[in-house]
Chain A
Amino acid sequence: MSRLDRLHRLERPIASLARGIARVTATALGPYQTAVIRIGFAATWLLFLLRELPNRHEMYGPDGPWNWDMAQQLIANNHAFTVLMWSDSTFWFETVYVLALLSSVLLMLGWRTRTMSVLFMVGVLSLQNRSIFMGDGGDNVIHLMSVYLVLTRCGQVWSLDARRLRRAQEARARGERSGADEAGRPGGGADEAGRPGGGVDDTAQPRDGVDDTAQPWDVVDEAETRDGFDSGHSRDGFDDSGHSRDETDTREDETRDRVGPVLWWILGLALSVVTFMGELGWGWLLIFWGLWGAHGLWWAVERRAPGGELRLLLDVVANLVHNAALFVIMAEACLIYATAGWYKIQGSRWQDGTAVYYPLQLDSFSPWPALSDALAAHGTLVMLVTYGTVAVQVAFPFTLFNRRIKNVLLAAMVFEHAVIAVVLGLPFFSLAMITADAVFLPTSFLRRVGGWAARARGVLLPGRRRGSRGEPRVPGQRRGEEPDPESAEQARVGFTA
């Protein structure tokens, strides 16, 4: 073997390592996967809170069976985080419950996603840690995932934030266009309305060319602004990027984000009050002030130097954190299945093939006694389900290395959890587990589902079609022959999905 050969062999892994690093620093991977778990966990918690609305005082209220005083004594020992310990008044409890509901709705819709993910976590931790003897496995999953979600850029698609970003881009594109129109290109309106129609619009061709070369920049810009909207307040000065002042001044008024900074100041004020109350330990103070500071920093950098290197660095760090959190979420899901599976293997009932029979005979997990009895009559079936459950749970983490087998197993597990939801009466646990599974769904499938959701919305709310407010759909089209499916889909899906 020549030296050159050996060198060449070494180069390959290094090159792929470099590619990997470039990738995890340049992109927040799995935009659809993180969006679907954001929507899923927020919806699960929301539905749970709505379901338990009549029982909320009994479960988490200051005078429930597990009352405030008892919770206080336990939490003094385990130091769990819960804002419900700040006051034993019913008013405070109701406020927290409403805020938990509200943050779930807003996180699900993707409104100020990154801020809402923090508030969502606060709501989940506060209620669950307040009454730890109330929860089950489903609560446990939501608890962990609410923490992990804070670290992800989970509002890149299927969110109100994404829609706001797209609209701002549309506004900016219109600005560009009007500039171009002045330069002697009439018929821009028609162009916008039905762009790909060739022939007549040949004059537009060169511009497409320009747009195409600008595409990488566009993508970077999109990634940049993604978090701008995420953090909720960094969109100020968005329009400054790469445009001359006089051109953007008027539009800036239209697109400048005022809600974000207001939200940021309010939360900063609230955090100050909490800090002075002295209820939070230094660890949590560090986390919350850190997140608040990061949002502020992002906004300032976005405003002062939107194309600058510091801005790029922030983007790199945000991507890194996102990708690591996504990896942790996936690993966590694998750990859940691995633990559930491997411990089952050690049980005699899972070995003799009767395990599935027993939960169905327990009063707490048998909403359908007739069904349990019918199933109990079929020994072979029970054994097949018992063995199948263990096999699927143990095998799942290993099948991730083969896309096709993984998808088959994923379908099997989603189905099993749907059955568990009804047969064992564990709807919220099952919904949480299905959501956790969804992080492994292929992008193509998720996009198809997004398309269906958009169509469903079109049927249900025909009056609310995009463009009804006279806003042409620009970004999906201005790239000429091949409209970018991603932004086109975002345009259709909006916030319904």
Chain B
Amino acid sequence: MKEKVTEQSQELTLTILSNKIKSIYTKNSTRTACRIYKDGKIGISGCIGETDINELYKKAEQNLEYQIDYPVEQTKNLESHTKIDSCKISNREFYGKIENILKELSRLHPDYIVSNKVYLRQSDYSMENELGMDLSYSDKYILSSLFMKEKKSSEDNNAYFLAFLRDLDTERILEAITELMTAHSKSLTLPKEPLPLVLDDYLVTQIFNTELRADVFGTGSSLFHHQLGKEIFSKNFSLKINNNPIESFRSNFDMEGVITPENLSCLIKDGVIIRPFSDKRTSKLYGYENTGCGCGDYDSVPTLGRADIEIQPGEKTIKELLNGQIGILVYWASGGGFTPDGNFATSVQLSYLTDGKKLLGRLPKFVMKGSVYDIFGKNFIGMSKDKLYLRGDHNMFVTRMDIKPL
């Protein structure tokens, strides 16, 4: 049985230095892989650039000699086409708008230097096979990665505006960056009283990407191995696989051509671990449901990788979750980690005090720490229904951890 995977991308990258566009990179790239399935084995061959498909299939067939077991059913009779074309901007318009934003930022904030990169990306991805699988995903979006640094500062304490966007709304972007810069210029001391933390979920949910893998579960080596089916987190806490291309900026099908069924997308529901995440081969091996998490490069054998997981948004806004309190927006924290028994700690490089709507000022660096069971358990306040535009247009969750000045 033959199967073809095609990835095409067109990208315009503008490098910005001191509020000016310094370089322009236009890239067109095509990657194609052919897969042959025979007698429970898989052979793959891939190529970057123009290629002869028949040659690729021939090589894929030759690669069956490596005897890679793939004893699962191929996806059949499944058609799905996602075309997200709300981002209509041309390369020329994009360049002009970015130039205008930079000029406006120079005018509004002469004390700041703006630098780094912005991208305009068209991404097309498709999978098809002889059994009637015909899947495609097409999306165009902007990635803003702007760093703003105070000219008078000799430290690399940048403010950032990092976001995936489908609309280059100049006014909204300027407003968000202005709010960030205004708060950034106002240095505050770290509050003595324990305040709730407002976080992007990626930072702390990374533990579920290692400990809820079906192979780790299946071999009995997960931190949560004995806790399947038990309520170990807050009733407000549910974790699901993000299967929505509009939110995730990726296709709704995985590298095995599986679209996660809605009823299998939830991994933790109301504080109870329901299932690990899996791909086809791991499901067959350990008997778990396949949640459509087959990953890999375009020319790789699909394998269980990272799941695109998110905390299920609740019914309250960030402000409502703070419930009249002031909170700490953790804007940038990296490099932390978990101990084997689930204790998390990280330094927080950039944070702001917030009332849930507005930023009130910048806080000094600090360390935050807590156990996974507390962060998503007794200390978990909730996941917001609203998104914070100035923090990547993401939903944010509110919890409590111990914090100490660095």
Same complex for A and B? Answer no
Interface of B with A (CB < 8 Å)?
none
Interface of A with B (CB < 8 Å)?
none
